[in-house]
Structure formats: structure tokens, C-alpha cells
Structure 1
Amino acid sequence: MKTIPLPSLHPTANPDQLRADIPASLGQGGIDLILLKSGVQLLIFDWQINQASLFQGGLNDHSVGFGFCLDGRYGHHPACFNRPLSIRAGESGFFSFPKGVEILEQTDDKRMHRVVLLLDGERLSILINGDEDRFYPILKSLEKKSPTRMGNILTPVMRTALHQLHHCPYRGTTQQIFLEGKSMELIAHMMEQISSGYGCRYDCALKASDKERVHHAAHMLVRSLNNPPDIMEIARSVGLSRTKLFRTFRQTFGLTPFEYLRSHRLQMAMKLLQDGEVNVTQAALMVGYTNLSYFARAFKSTFGIAPSELRKSFRVT
């Protein structure tokens, strides 16, 4: 497989934002780098490439960050690690790498969508100041300056913040304030996750066969959002008991099957409303909600905006 340098960033009309586009010969999409006032760098990777590829890049000025993978799967191999890390949709992670480290990433030919927040170790130490006991794992990696990655899962509150960040309705100064707030919210969620130990990757405790079964079950669950199969039917199809299916689902995704289905339904409803092709009632029915009041409450609770308000904002713009 040929190694391809990550495309170079170039200025945009926004002085605080840089952009790198994937060459048309490889696919479409690219990388946005937004420089926030706090010194945090917000990176949004969103692309679709034609074939599995190996990209080469590096971290020059920052060595500490938080990553969130919404779509896709990739092999991430910093030169400071002996072997690559396998990262897939639904995972998050904290990392601390030496400055100037070269990184190879192998991505598949599906959509890649992930968010990375970069900051320097000193700034993170300042944030932790006064609460060192709770964040000992992070401080230990910063003090030793040793390559570190702590893998976790995306929690529902992280997913909500990520979708709000990706679909920011503002421009100019208010956009900067909004993105700053959501980025700091994501850092807070991740730090709380690390300090509590919640969401630490449990896949290693699962047999390979059980991993395959639970991912197949997840696919079956969301294949038809408006008419999902019964959970017992899914359990029988993948060869697990109902109890074990629930346990392995939570171990793998950090959610129960019902929470996983609800999250996918609401995310699809948001996409339908943003595309502007359907109204709120149609979007609710298409993803399986027959009670419109319940749908509106669930939508606003998850995304912070009523579905009617979201559709109106996208129709106006």
C-alpha cells in the first residue's frame, strides 16, 4: 500500500481556521483546523476516500490531546509506539506523545469522521491544578513525558456535544464562542471519564466471537430504525442470551441496546431535518417515533434544540 502525505493545510476566509482537502483522485472531504482563543486546537476529520490508504503526518507543536471517533475505523501508529492502535467508531481516547512524532494512519474506504482536541501539557496541568489526586493517570503521563494512550468509549453526553459542535449554527465571533464552549465541554467529559474509570475499554475481556456477535447485533438493531427487530429475536440470531447480549453491548458501546437504538434514531432524525427534505412529523415517523411530543422532548434533551427550531434554522440559512 502506497504511503500518502496528509494534505497541507491552507488559510480560509476565517482567520482562525485552516483547511486541508483530500485530492479528488483519492475521494472527497478533508480536515478543518480551528484555532480557539484558549490555545486549544480543534481538528475535524471528515472524508470519504475511494480505497484503503496509508496516510503519513505528524504532531509538531502539541503533544497532548483528546480524540473522538464518530465514523470509520483506522490504524493509528505513532512512531513512539511499537505497534499500531486500532480505533473504531464509538471510541474516544486521551493521548500524550512526544513533540515532533511521526504518525502513520491506515484508513478504510468508508466515511471517516472524528474530532481531535490538541493542547500542550502545561495548559492541561493548569486545568488539573488543585485536583491532582483524581487525575493522577494524566499527570503521570505528562510528568514522565512518556507516550501514552488511554482508550475509552463515546458516552451519550459526548455524542451530543460532538453533534452540536459539528453542526454549529453560528458564524463569526459567536461561532468561536460556541466551539470553544463545546470543546471545553468535551474535555470535561473525557477527564471525568478518566477520573471515574467509567467507559474504559473492556473489549479485551470479551472473546473474539462475542465481539463479532455484539457488533452484528448492533447492525441488526439499527438496520431498520422505524421497525427494529425484537431484542430476543436479535439475541437468538447472534447466539447470545438476552442477559449476555445486554452485558456485552454495554461493555462494547457503553450503552444498553435501547440507548444505542435511541441514539441512532435521534442522530438520523437530525440529519433528515438538516437536509431539509422532510418536516418534523415525517422525520419522527421515518426513525420510528409515533408519539411526536415524546420525540420532540427526546430530541431537545439530546441536542439542546427543538426539532422544529432546528429545521427552521436550516431552512432559513
Structure 2
Amino acid sequence: MKTVLVPPPQPVANSNHFKINIPASLGQGGADLFSLTSGIQLLTLDCQFNQATLFQGGLKDHAVGFGFCLDGRYDYHPTGFDRPFTIRAGESAFFSFPKGVETLEKTNDKRMHRVALSLDGECLSTLINGDEDRFYPILKSLEKRSSTRMGNILTPVMRTVLYQLLHCPYRGTTQQIFLEGKSMELIAHMMEQLCSGCRCCYAGTIKTSETERVHHAAHMLVRDLNNPPDIMEIARSVGLSRTKLFRCFRQTFGLSPFEYLRNHRLQMAMHLLQDGEVNVTQAALIVGYTNLSHFAKAFKSIFGMAPSDLRKPFRIT
């Protein structure tokens, strides 16, 4: 495994736009960083390394924000956590790391596609002003300035906004306005998701062991999209009753197992269509849809567009 230091961003023509390019010896792709007028830092990362790589870095300032993982899997270990946590495709998260935190990030040789929104803690507190009870966990982490991460799922509406953000049709001033609006929209969706998560906690906190079982159940559910196992079979395998599995599943992911499976199928179909290597019929069959009409209807209800409207994605430049 190769260990490298995180390279500093380099400015481009626009003074608010910076780039980090992956050296050809390490892989391909890179990252774009936009400093928006509201103070939000927008980071988009789309790259692939030649081998497993360990990045060493550190935070000069208090880092607060929201992360979205579209593709890839990596282990992230900031100081303040006993062990690294794994971030996977299809996950979103709120994070708060204090100034001076050292970080280790282990990647593999698969494509990584992520978006992160960072902002000043005071700015986030201002957004929450007047609604403190709903967002108490966020405020608590900001006040303590402790290492905090609250993971969740990447919802279909978030994916739609991310798709629009990554396919910004404008340049110059209008690009800044567009990115600012989409970034704020993502923050709104994330804050509502966190608020919903808080309500679930009041309904009864699930144990760590139950959370691990639910994650294992989710993996079993989407392991074979063409022939998913029966929900009772999954419940028996993870040692939970059907009722308990449904309750814990909704508390963990905010979705029922059937909604989770549907969303995973459609998200996989979107990836296939964005890559441009299959047509709509092939994508539908790969993810387990035999009725193209049902597939098109479900796809549009989630992403707001027909599957035939997708084109191969491009990164912000």
C-alpha cells in the first residue's frame, strides 16, 4: 500500500475555483474546490487510484459540513475516533471535526465519486437559529467542538440535486449562483434527514448490535438484485423477528426494506446509464426489472427524469 500526503489545491482562472489533480503515477482524476459567496466550500471528487492508497492529512480549522458518497468505498480515521469508519456508496453524513485533527484515509483501486459541503460553525448555527430543539445533536457537537459523524443514506432527492450540481450548465457568475443554490438545497435535505433521525431516536434507540444486524440485512437484501431473498429468510439469518427487522431498518435507514431495495435498484440503474455502457432495457434487466414500463415509471418518480434522458456524466471544470 502506498502512503502519500494530500496535495494542496491549485488555483485556476476563476479565483474562487481550485483543483487537485491526481499524479499519473498514482491514478487518474482529481478534485474541484469552489469557495462560494455564502462561505460554503464545495468539494467534488472523482478519481481512481492504481492501487490501495493511504492518505495522511490534517485540518487547520474547525471542519463542519455534509458529505455525500456516490461511488466507491474508503476508510476514514480522524483523531478522536477509536477506530476508522467505513464510508460506502449511497451514504450521506453530517461531520464536525475540531481544529488540528489529523486524518488517515485508506482507499482502494475503485472509482471514488464524492461531494462535500463545508461551512463555518457559526453559519450553521445561524441557519438553525429558532429551531434549536430539532437540531440539538448538531448544536451539541458544535459547542463541544468534538469529533462527530452522523451517518445516513443518500436519498433519491439528494441524488437528483447532486446530479444537477455535477452537471452545472453555466460558467462564471451564473455558475456560482447555481452551485450556491444547489448546495443550500442539499443542506436543507440533509438537515431534514437529521431531524427525522432525531425523531426516530425518541421512538426508541436501537442497540449497536442491532444496527450491525440491520446493516448485514441490507447487504443481504441487495446482494443479488435479480433474485433478492425473502424478508423472513433475512430476518432469520440476522437473528431478528420480521417486525423488529422492519422497525430497526426504518430507524437506521429511514426506509422500509422494500423501499431500500427499490432505491438501490434504481440507483444502480442510474450508475449504469451514466456510465453509458448499457441501454435502458439492459439497465432495467440488470437491476431486476422485467417490465420496462414499471421501471421507467419508478425511475422518473425517484429522479424526476426518464431513464432515456441520462447521458454520461462529466465533472465540473
Q: TM-score, normalised by structure 2?
A: 0.78
Counterpart for residue 30 of structure 1: 30
Equivalent in the alignment of 1:74: 75
Gaps of 5+ in 2: none
Check whether the contact 1:62–1:118 (CA below 8 A) recurs between aligned residues: no
The CA deviation string for residues 230-251 of structure 1, in whole angstroms up to 9 with x for no partner, is 3334445555543344344334
* Paired residue secondary structure (1:73): strand
RMSD value over aligned CA atoms? 3.5
Match of 1:23, as an amino acid? P
Q: Distance in 2 between matches of 1:82 and 1:45?
A: 24
Partner of 2:105: 106
Tell me: higher relative CO, structure 1 or 2? Use CA pairs within 8 A at least 6 residues apart: 2
Alignment coverage as a number of residue pairs: 307
Aligned residue for 1:207, secondary structure, equals helix
Deviation of 1:14 (Å): 5.5
- Which residue of the partner structure matches residue 193 of structure 2? 193
Shift of 1:131: 3.1
Per the alignment, do residues 311 and 44 of structure 1 end up closer, same or farther by CA in structure 2, a change over 3 Å counting?
closer
Amino acid at match of 1:229: P
1:225 shift after superposition: 2.4
Give the counterpart letter for 2:167 in structure 1: C
- Indicate the SS of the match to 2:298: helix
Secondary structure of 1:228's partner? coil
Deviation per CA, 1:132-177: give whole Å up to 9, x if none. Answer: 44334434444x4622414131252564246425642524255444
- Cα offsets for 1:215-264 (capped at 9, x unmatched): 44433432332343333344455555433443443344333221222112
1:249 aligns to what?
249
Aligned to 2:148: 149
Tell me if structure 2 keeps the 8 A contact 1:66–1:94. yes
TM-score for both structures, normalised by structure 1: 0.78
Match of 1:223, as an amino acid?
Answer: R
Partner letter of residue 296 of structure 2?
A
Paired residues of 1:97 and 1:145 also in contact (CA < 8 A): no
Say which SS state the counterpart of residue 224 (structure 2) adopts: coil
Mapped partners of 1:117, 1:123: distance in 2: 13
Corresponding residue for residue 207 of structure 1: 209
Preserved contact between residue 81 and residue 147 of structure 2 (Cα < 8 Å): no
Rate the CA distance shift 1:284–1:91 in 2: closer, same or farther, 3 A: closer
The CA deviation string for residues 175-229 of structure 1, in whole angstroms up to 9 with x for no partner, is 44443223212211222233440577x9971328x72x54444334323323433
Give the counterpart letter for 2:276 in structure 1.
G
In 1, Cα distance between equivalents of 2:199 and 2:17: 34
Mapping of 1:248-287 within 5 angstroms?
Answer: 248-287=248-287
